[in-house]
Amino acid sequence: MSDWSLDGSSGVPLYVQLRQQIISRIITGEWPPGFQLPTVRQLAVDVRINVNTVSKVYSQVEQEGFIVTQKGKGTFVRSELSWRQSAQGRGEELQQFAKLVKEMADAQGISLGELMEVLTDMRNKERPS
């Protein structure tokens, strides 16, 4: 299992940090569709936080449409067809991604203006001359 980086001194609640990291792993494809997430207990041990906190995070991420829990089987990243197939699904995915990026920027004290400037610079550098 990959490393987790939760910082109790950052001022960002641990459950928010964990949620951000789970969604990031899904959006970036590190956890592809169908991937089985660690059990609530195992993740609680791995990140050294309360089982109830992990359960709360899984519930939120499931409500947001990224994962699905199958009773007796585990928790899985939703399949491609269930959350990425339509233009509407793509728009929802983009909204979730933007929300995650904004939360991460806020947690680091980065303004949206600064973030937009960096993204614009990145785009301009990628364009062929």
Give the residue among 9, 49, 11 at the shortest CA–CA distance from 22. 49
Report d(CA 27, CA 21) in Å as an integer: 10
Residues forming beta bridges with residue 75, ordered by sequence position? 69
The pLDDT value given to residue 76: 97
Q: How far apart are the C-alpha atoms of 49 and 2, rounded to whole Å?
A: 16
pLDDT reported for residue 1: 46
Q: What pLDDT shows up at residue 59?
A: 96
Q: Which residues pair with 74 in a beta bridge?
A: 70
Name the nearest CA neighbour of 49 among 16, 24, 14, 9: 14
51-94 confidence digits (pLDDT tens): 999 999 999 999 888 899 999 999 999 986 455 555 566 677 77
Find tokens 């992990």 and name the residue: 54
pTM of the complete model: 0.67
Domain covering 14-126 in this structure, CATH number:
1.10.10.10
Sorted by where each begins, the domain ranges of the chain are: 14-126
Higher pLDDT, 39 or 90: 39
Detail the DSSP E strand segments found in the chain: 67-70, 74-77
* Inter-residue contact 65 to 83 (CB < 8 Å): yes
